[in-house]
A and B are shown apart, each in its own frame.
Chain A
């Protein structure tokens, strides 16, 4: 919007559909974009012609049946995988121009949590969270300060000296969340973070994610949890057989802690886009989160 027009590119930049990926996102608030991305394993397409724009501070649910490519999409964003075709841009990192040695730099700017927590099991809670700061090169006094802050924030400071395997699933996921946010990332990716947790604990985790989102971090969460999506879904991206078959948004139907923040977020990246659906189609698109089993 406030971008300085580039005389050579103005024509291409004029419409989102003919957008030139090399130019970077049109809107300065866009923090993640994917352009015509294919991801192929051998002959099998895990993702096919995926186009996605994520703005700063958005909360996105990614839904779809098993094998639809949700995790693959996240792996493209952390650059564990690179597109077979097309281009992914995350912050200042462009997949097609990414040197391997820069991948760690990207990862430090993204928090990631998984269904299976992925903690370093031979270490205690404090060291797990501290590791994320250690690799960035932070000094010990500051590490202590930051880790203490985030552990307090997820409510686990009193368990900082326990080995992570002695914690419950919910507690382990909170440690993983603390580790994911300790470097204050602009992006948090969550791959079925509640998949291994019972509903009550899931609620705690999702609340934490909303609080993180309220603080300005964009959150992309893959999930199979219909109820949660129905309850909180604000923008929902649906994947089927590697394709985005729906990318819809609405204001969250229930009043929540986040409601005000949501209302204030006037910007919607797909407002002018062709894929934008009307709110009434939201239910239809999202109700059958995992494919056609409902109709």
Chain B
């Protein structure tokens, strides 16, 4: 039933409504914007933490040091057996000579320290590349390493499983913090918008009565409020995202390698903010525009 004339009218009303309460409207946008900024900030931290976790997991090869005096045949059998284990992707042999070379490379300038040694103290070892699903499950990884450690010929297994355990824990904490912050932000954003809309509705109660008297439907009366709430939400979301982008750019110049939201996530964030604004004003209307 409603055509372009009505759409234009409702949009214009929404903007006029915002223009009428420029100050309280801006304050609401600022408050909602800071709440959203918190949410975005925590999400960014989580994303970066996750990236660190992923890259650490990428080089968590376990190292199984071999007992001395292992014969060539035994060693090859052991390698076969380890390779056949579920969760082991590859097994590389590192001879003591290769080990000391690597060590030398790692030391770089300080390599001359090794010159005081008259014999190679490093044992031979297997470098064991673990399957992805094992790396992502600290418990399984620990169990597998235990199995490897009990093979005859294996002296000791070292890995970064404890570090991963810590990072996993930290990751979980951050997800919980994200959820809590997200919930608080949701509630406060809805509350802030709902509050300004409530004030406007009360202030315009007389006009609203007149509109009803003339035959305006509830939706026709609500729509400008919903639109202006959505608009405030979008502004707040864009504000938060803009500030965070600037902060990221600065940090990127200083440190580098900091991840930011992808374009899809940015759009999603602003859409979410817009919806929050609309929901905020809808709750105010439900309570204060009993028609």
CA distance A292 to B215 in the complex (A): 38
CA gap between A199 and B241 in the complex, in Å:
64
Are A78's CB and B5's CB within 8 A?
no
Stretch of B49-57, B163-171, B206-214, B261-269 at the chain-chain interface? B206-214
Task: Give the residue of A106, A121, A139 whose beta carbon is less than 8 angstroms from that of B5.
Answer: A139
**What is the bound-complex CA distance between A119 and B210, given in angstroms?**
7
Instruction: Point out the residues of chain A lying under 8 angstroms from B8, CB to CB.
Output: 140
**Are A78 and B213 in contact, with the CB atoms below 8 A?**
yes
Per-residue CB contact flags for chain A residues 107-120 toward chain B (1 = under 8 Å, else 0) read 11000100000111
Contact B3 A137 (CB under 8 A): yes
A167 at the interface (CB under 8 A from B): no
Q: Which of B1, B209, B211 gathers the greatest number of chain A CB atoms within 10 Å?
A: B211
User: What sequence of 0s and 1s flags, for each residue 1-42 of chain B, a beta carbon within 8 Å of any chain A beta carbon?
Assistant: 111111011000000000010000000000000000000000
Give Cα A140–Cα B4 distance, bound, in whole angstroms: 9
Task: Give the distance in Å from the alpha carbon of A136 to the alpha carbon of B6 in the complex.
Answer: 9
Q: Are B213 and A112 in contact (CB under 8 A)?
A: yes
Which of A132, A134, A183 touches B6 (beta carbons < 8 Å)? A134
B16 to A, closest residue via Cβ: A122
- Does A55 sit at the interface, judged by CB under 8 A? no
Q: How many A-B residue pairs have CB under 8 A?
A: 55
Closest approach, in angstroms, between the C-beta of A110 and any C-beta of chain B?
A: 8
Q: Is the CB of B214 within 8 A of A131?
A: yes
B251-291 residues at the A interface, CB under 8 angstroms: 291
Report the bound CA distance from A105 to B3 in whole Å: 17
Tell me whether B220 is interfacial, beta carbon within 8 Å.
Answer: yes
A72 to chain B, nearest CB (A): 16
Chain B residues closer than 8 Å to A136, beta-carbon distance: 215
Q: Mark B141-174, 1 if CB is under 8 A from A, else 0.
A: 0000000000000000000000000000000000
Contacting pair B207 A137 (CB below 8 A): no
Cβ–Cβ contact A137 & B213, under 8 A: no
* Mask: chain B, 197-234; 1 = CB below 8 Å from A; 0 = not: 00000000001011111111100100000000000000
Contact A140 B215 (CB under 8 A): no
Task: Give the complex CA separation of A131 and B221 in angstroms.
Answer: 11
**Chain A residues near B20 (CB-CB < 8 A):** 122
Is residue A135 within 8 Å, beta carbon to beta carbon, of the partner chain? Answer: yes
- Across-interface contacts of A134 in B (CB, < 8 A): 5-6, 9
A209 to chain B, nearest CB (A): 18
B209 proximity list for chain A (CB < 8 A) = 118
- Interface status of A60 (Cβ within 8 A of chain B): no
- Contact (Cβ within 8 A) A132 B215: yes
Given A107-B212, A118-B210, A135-B211, A140:B217 Cβ within 8 A: no
A143 at interface by CB-CB < 8 Å: yes
A104 part of interface (Cβ distance < 8 Å): yes
Query: Nearest Cβ in chain B — how far from A145, in angstroms?
Result: 13
Q: Which residue of B lies closest to A112 (CB)?
A: B213
* A70 at the binding interface (Cβ < 8 Å): no
Cβ of B5: which chain A residues have Cβ within 8 Å of it? 134, 138-140, 143
Candidates B2, B4, B207, B216; contact of A104 at CB < 8 Å: B216
A122 to B206, CA, bound (A): 11
Contact of A120 among B6, B210, B215, B220 (CB under 8 A): B210
Q: In the assembly, what is the distance between CA of A134 and CA of B220, in Å?
A: 10
> CA of A55 to CA of B65 in the docked complex: distance in angstroms?
106
Enumerate chain A residues within 8 angstroms of B220, measured Cβ to Cβ.
135
Within 8 Å by CB of B217, from A104, A131, A138, lies A104
Judge whether A243 is part of the interface by a CB distance below 8 angstroms: no
> B6 and A137: CB pair below 8 A?
yes
In the complex, how many angstroms separate the beta carbon of B98 from the nearest chain A beta carbon?
82
* Least distance between B133 CB and chain A CB atoms (Å): 56
A186 within 8 A of B: no
Closest to A143 in B: B5
Within A75-112, which residues are at the interface with B (CB < 8 Å)?
78, 100-101, 104-108, 112
- Roughly how many angstroms separate A107 CA and B14 CA in the complex, as a whole number? 24
Q: With A137-B1, A137-B6, A143-B5 known to touch, is A118 a contact of B215 (CB < 8 Å)?
A: no
Given contacts A120-B207, A120-B210, A122-B207, contact A104 B215 (CB under 8 A): yes
CB distance from B7 to the nearest CB of A (A): 11
Residues of B within 8 A of A122 (CB): 20, 207
Closest beta carbon of chain A to B103's beta carbon, Å: 81
Cβ of A179 within 8 Å of any chain B Cβ, yes or no, is yes
Q: Would you give the shortest CB distance from A9 to chain B, in whole angstroms? A: 32
A40 to B: closest C-beta gap in Å: 21
- Do residues B213 and A135 form an inter-chain contact, with CB atoms below 8 A? no
- How many angstroms from the CA of A120 to the CA of B212 in the assembled complex? 12
Query: Which residue of chain A has the shortest Cβ distance to B217 in the bound complex?
Result: A104
Contacts of A105 in B (CB 8 A): 215
> Quick one: which of A149-172 are within 8 Å of B by CB?
none
| Residues in A neighbouring B6, C-beta threshold 8 A | 134, 137
Partner of B213, one of A101, A107, A121, A183: A107
CB pairs A–B below 8 angstroms (12 shown): A104-B212, A104-B216, A105-B215, A107-B212, A108-B215, A112-B213, A118-B210, A118-B213, A131-B214, A135-B215, A135-B220, A179-B214
3 smallest beta-carbon distances between A and B, as pairs: A107-B215, A108-B215, A140-B5
A-side interface residues toward B, CB under 8 Å? 78, 100-101, 104-108, 112, 118-122, 131-132, 134-140, 143, 179, 183
